[in-house]
Amino acid sequence: MAYINGIGIISPQDTLPGSAFLEPVIEHTSEFMKSIEPVYKQYIDPIASRRLSRLIKMGISSAKMCMLDAGLEVPDAIITGTGLGSVEDTEKILGELTKEEKFLNPTPFIQSTYNTISSQIAINLKCHQYNSTYVHRCFSLESCLIDALLQIDEGSAQNVLTGGIDEMTLNHLTIIRRLGLWKPEAVSNLDLWSSPLPGALAGEGAAYFSISKERNEKTYASLSAVQTLYKPSSTEQTAEAVVRFVTEQGLRPEDVDLVMMGNNGNDEHDRICDEVMMKALPSASRMLYKHLCGEYHTVSGFALFVAANILRKQFIPSSLINIPSAPGKLETILIHNHFRDTDHSFILVRR
Amino acid sequence: MGIRVVITGYGIVSSIGMDAGEVLRSLLDGISGIGEITRFDTIHKGKLPLAEVRRSNAELLEHLGLKNKKKYSRTSLLGMAAARQAAEMAGIKPGQSLRTGLISANTVGGMDRTEDFYPLFLENQSKGRISEVATHDCGDSTEKIAEYLGVRDFITTISTACSSSANAVMLASEMIKAGLIDRVIAGGTDAVTRFTLNGFNTLMILDKTGCRPFDEERAGLTIGEGAAFLVLESEELAIREGREIIGLVSGYGNANDAYHQTASSPEGIGAGLAMAKALEMGCIEPAAVSYINVHGTGTQNNDLSEGIAVQKLFVDTVPPFSSTKSYTGHTLGAAGAIEAVISLLSVQNGCIFPNLRWATPMKELYIRPVTSLLRNIPVEHVLSNSFGFGGNNSSLLLSKYNSR
């Protein structure tokens, strides 16, 4: 168990420092939900910034926002989760390779390396301590949180800076659309749940958290536990795992007030989310949020930002959808997500 | 004393052998795996060497008893071959009641197939076999290995450039100590790709003659491919289950150089910190280290920075050291685990493998690598260094097992 004492987030909503909590809602009508980016020179030296690709800039900036929010200068560990790293840089190299192998610019290669974000943050914060990067689909951020809790429990770190980050590009969207799980054309995010077109809406974002051993005046919420579940054999088994996870934290299933649902607009995906939670936590209020940020590997970062703020502010912005109705109290929130029913994750956040 | 993490199995696939026995033979005989490029078409053929695993994908599929070639990247195939050996040695079978995890590491996922797909796709966005990009991400190979071995209880993937699989061993050890899991198959896998070869080539750090770590005339690294995995569990469990204990993970350290994205600091700050942390955790004085399997890529920058860090930490008690990348090439995400297995072979066989292709001492250093095989010497503690781009530095301290 540890505390979330700072958050820095760049997302398709206006979540930059000083913004109101998800008000007003930003509508996106283009091919994918692109992040509302900050003025980078506030966080990165403009000369250095010129060479950095968008994902790296989002990573450094959100990490710095998080440290400012937490009132810390140097963390004891930096851990980043990313499903795909810098897609833009990877595409640049692949594009060059199709012409001839004579390209000379090393920058895209360096930045395509998955650990660039964590290491650029280390360079920017002058942090020589533990530094790692997890790159496992929808387990990327969850693995970071598990590692962060281990470091804190074991006493090797007091404050861990950890987050999840992924970007979308048009080429990448074209490729994943051919896999069939995504909306085949642009749909407004506000129509995600009513659109007759099947599939998820692609999104992106960067969310960093300052996770600390001690509660303080900046604390948003406590991060009670994080667990991943690989390849369950049925929704029953997944539901049992949810109940066991909650019970292991000394709670009864009915103690969970709110579940941030993994639903993304893809019918098969959503059916699994609904079945699992109806079985495991039938009394909890279920919340849909992916119309605000879209779907991506480290989307739980957006969910964790929402959950932590709901618990601190004790209200639910009207842009979030509660089924069947808003919960009576806001003490305990479970975040569930999954990737093709193979990788399920659970994050428990408490007031 | 806290929980001790022991090693009860390992597996390795590299350019110098398809299993630990073959690898040991090559190490003893001084046979390097560095040679001509055969895996793919490239303008660098005949100009730059690689350390390739001498098996085609078709041969690897057959070796693994698999049929569906559309499903697997080479990264997965190499990983499955090495992880299967590790699981077999440790007696891991599907359906056992122990909670078993897989923590794997790599740097480019299934890029070997993505780069086949991409030219067709760029020509026409509806072209290219989509199955070839379904294996692109780093997590794919981990899930393929887990599926192959029937591992269900925990999986994740780490990518910290050249230190990736050392960090996999670290996370596994931490989770075992915390009681989150009973045993973990931890390591890494990476295949050679045109992407990596050309990427490193733009940095102008590839030695045209094959890497010469710690030599004054060194001119860069040689990219290799391969995979290695260790099986880790608590000492108590290993004893209870009657397993043969191969070695002890007595310490590890992860630190960041925080200096430059691709260059190490001249003083080797991160390298020194990582090694010091590993020794501190193992309660081992520097003088007690029997051998350092150095990162030793053969680049100007790494070997100087690492050498200075070693001199600073060990002062006048610098143990024998060598870079076995002179045999295996730099296997990137697999390097930490491959070198951990080589370190265990050193402990088990009481020998220290030479640093090949070394001729001239570095001007800036007073230390020199081991250049001929040392046999019949007690090897108690090995420090295995893995330092990566982005200043991601990790050291593992692997020791001979002694019951206490």
Cβ atoms within 10 Å, residue A227: 20
Distance CA B283, CA A101 (A): 49
pLDDT band at A101 (very low <50, low <70, confident <90, very high): confident
Lowest mean pLDDT segment, chosen from A33-42, A75-84, B262-271: B262-271
- Domain edge (last residue) among B240, B263, B279: B240
* CB-based contact B388 A84, cutoff 8 Å: no
Chain A residues touching B42 at Cβ < 8 A: 101
Amino acid at B76: S
Cβ atoms within 10 Å, residue B340: 31
- Domain edge (last residue) among B215, B240, B265: B240
pLDDT band at A104 (very low <50, low <70, confident <90, very high): confident
* CB-based contact B262 A139, cutoff 8 Å: no
**pLDDT greater at residue B250 or residue B260:** B250
Residue B404 in any domain: the answer is: no
**Same domain assignment for residues B217 and B262:** no
Amino acid at A275: E
A2-212: which CATH architecture? 3-Layer(aba) Sandwich (3.40)
Taking 80 as the threshold, does the pLDDT of residue A103 lie above it?
no
- pTM (2 d.p.): 0.98
Task: Name the residue in chain A with its Cα closest to that of B180.
Answer: A150
**Same domain assignment for residues B230 and B273:** no
Per-residue model confidence as pLDDT tens digits over A113-165: 999 999 999 999 999 999 999 999 999 999 999 999 999 999 999 999 999 99
* CB-based contact A95 B256, cutoff 8 Å: no
Percent of chain A beyond pLDDT 90? 96
Chain B residues touching A298 at Cβ < 8 A: none
Q: For residues B85-101, b (16+ Cβ closer than 10 Å) or e, as one string?
A: bbbebbebeeeeeebbb
The whole-angstrom distance between B65's CA and the closest CA on chain A is 22
Tokens representing B165 are 């699989």
Given this model, what pLDDT does residue A179 score? 86
User: What is the rounded average pLDDT of the residues B337-354?
Assistant: 98
**Same domain assignment for residues B181 and B255:** no
**Same domain assignment for residues B219 and B270:** no
Strand partners, A333: A258, A349
Domain coordinates of chain A in residue numbers?
A: 2-212, 221-350
Percent of chain A beyond pLDDT 70? 100
User: What is the rounded average pLDDT of the residues A163-178?
Assistant: 95
Per-residue model confidence as pLDDT tens digits over A238-250: 999 999 999 999 9
The answer to whether B401 and B310 are in contact (CB under 8 A) is: no
Residue B257 in any domain: the answer is: yes
For the domain made up of A221-350, give the CATH fold: Peroxisomal Thiolase; Chain A, domain 1 (3.40.47)
Q: Which of B107, B154, B256 is the closest to A128 by Cβ?
A: B256
- Any idea which residue has 């085609």 for tokens? B56
Q: Which CATH number covers residue B100?
A: 3.40.47.10
Q: Smallest Cα–Cα separation from A241: which of A139, A334, A132, A148? A: A334
Distance CA A246, CA A260 (A): 14
pLDDT band at B94 (very low <50, low <70, confident <90, very high): confident
B293: enclosing H helix or E strand: strand B291-293
User: What is the rounded average pLDDT of the residues B16-42?
Assistant: 97
- Any idea which residue has 């600091």 for tokens? B265
- Domain edge (last residue) among B212, B240, B268: B240
Chain B residues touching A96 at Cβ < 8 A: 198
Residue range(s) defining the domain that contains residue B32: 5-240
User: What is the rounded average pLDDT of the residues A262-286?
Assistant: 97
Size of interface A-B (CB pairs under 8 A): 185
**Same domain assignment for residues B236 and B257:** no
Residue B245 in any domain: the answer is: no
Tokens representing B22 are 């073959």
* CB-based contact B258 A175, cutoff 8 Å: no
Given this model, what pLDDT does residue B403 score? 82
**Same domain assignment for residues B195 and B52:** yes
The answer to whether B386 and B335 are in contact (CB under 8 A) is: yes
Given this model, what pLDDT does residue A105 score? 87
Taking 90 as the threshold, does the pLDDT of residue A58 lie above it?
yes
Chain A residues touching B255 at Cβ < 8 A: 128-131
**Same domain assignment for residues B317 and B341:** yes
Strand partners, B231: B9, B185
**Same domain assignment for residues B276 and B160:** no
**Same domain assignment for residues B218 and B349:** no
Give CA separation, B265 vs A205, B261, B272, B294, B390, in Å. Answer: 32, 10, 11, 17, 11
Q: Which of B175, B201, B390 is the closest to A119 by Cβ?
A: B390
Cα B371–B374–B378 angle (5° rounding)? 140
Domains A2-212 and A221-350 share a fold: yes
Per-residue model confidence as pLDDT tens digits over B180-236: 999 999 999 999 999 999 999 999 999 999 999 999 999 999 999 999 999 999 999
User: What is the rounded average pLDDT of the residues B336-353?
Assistant: 98
The answer to whether A71 and A227 are in contact (CB under 8 A) is: no
**Residues of B recognised as catalytic:** 162, 295, 330
Task: Name the residue in chain A with its Cα closest to that of B42.
Answer: A101
The whole-angstrom distance between A81's CA and the closest CA on chain B is 9
Distance CA A10, CA A50 (A): 19
Amino acid at B386: S
Taking 90 as the threshold, does the pLDDT of residue A99 lie above it?
no
Amino acid at B385: N
Q: Which among B121, B127, B159 is the top mutation candidate for probing chain A, defined by the most A β-carbons within 10 Å of its own β-carbon?
A: B159
The whole-angstrom distance between A110's CA and the closest CA on chain B is 7
Q: What is the mean pLDDT of chain A?
A: 96
Per-residue model confidence as pLDDT tens digits over B156-177: 999 999 999 999 999 999 999 9
The answer to whether B55 and B68 are in contact (CB under 8 A) is: no
Strands (E), chain A: 2-10, 77-81, 130-134, 159-166, 205-212, 221-230, 258-260, 285-288, 321-323, 332-339, 343-350
* CB-based contact B254 A122, cutoff 8 Å: no
Residue B246 in any domain: the answer is: no
Write the DSSP assignment of B91-118 as a string of letters.
Answer: T--TT-SS-EEEEEE-SSTTHHHHHHHH
Cβ atoms within 10 Å, residue A250: 8
Given this model, what pLDDT does residue B181 score? 97
The phi and psi torsions of A253 (rounded to 5 degrees) equal: -50, -35
Chain B residues touching A144 at Cβ < 8 A: none
The answer to whether B59 and B78 are in contact (CB under 8 A) is: no
Tokens representing B217 are 């005339």
Distance CA B203, CA A31 (A): 35
The phi and psi torsions of A267 (rounded to 5 degrees) equal: -55, -45
* CB-based contact A78 B256, cutoff 8 Å: yes
Chain A residues touching B122 at Cβ < 8 A: 94-95, 98
Q: What is the mean pLDDT of chain B?
A: 96
Q: Where are the alpha helices (DSSP H) in B131-261?
A: 138-149, 164-177, 194-202, 235-240
Task: Name the residue in chain A with its Cα closest to that of B203.
Answer: A106
pLDDT band at B1 (very low <50, low <70, confident <90, very high): low
Tokens representing A79 are 């851990």
Residue B145 in any domain: the answer is: yes
Per-residue model confidence as pLDDT tens digits over B96-151: 899 999 999 999 999 999 999 998 998 899 998 888 889 999 999 999 999 999 99
The answer to whether B366 and B315 are in contact (CB under 8 A) is: no
What is the pairing mode between strands A2-10 and A221-230? antiparallel
* CB-based contact A131 B261, cutoff 8 Å: no
Q: Which among A44, A49, A97, A172 is the top mutation candidate for probing chain B, defined by the most B β-carbons within 10 Å of its own β-carbon?
A: A97
**Same domain assignment for residues B274 and B299:** yes
Please give the tally of structural domains in chain B.
2
Task: Name the residue in chain B with its Cα closest to that of A52.
Answer: B261
**Same domain assignment for residues B392 and B335:** yes
Give CA separation, A195 vs A36, A177, A187, B192, in Å. Answer: 24, 17, 8, 44
**Same domain assignment for residues B11 and B142:** yes
Percent of chain B beyond pLDDT 90? 91
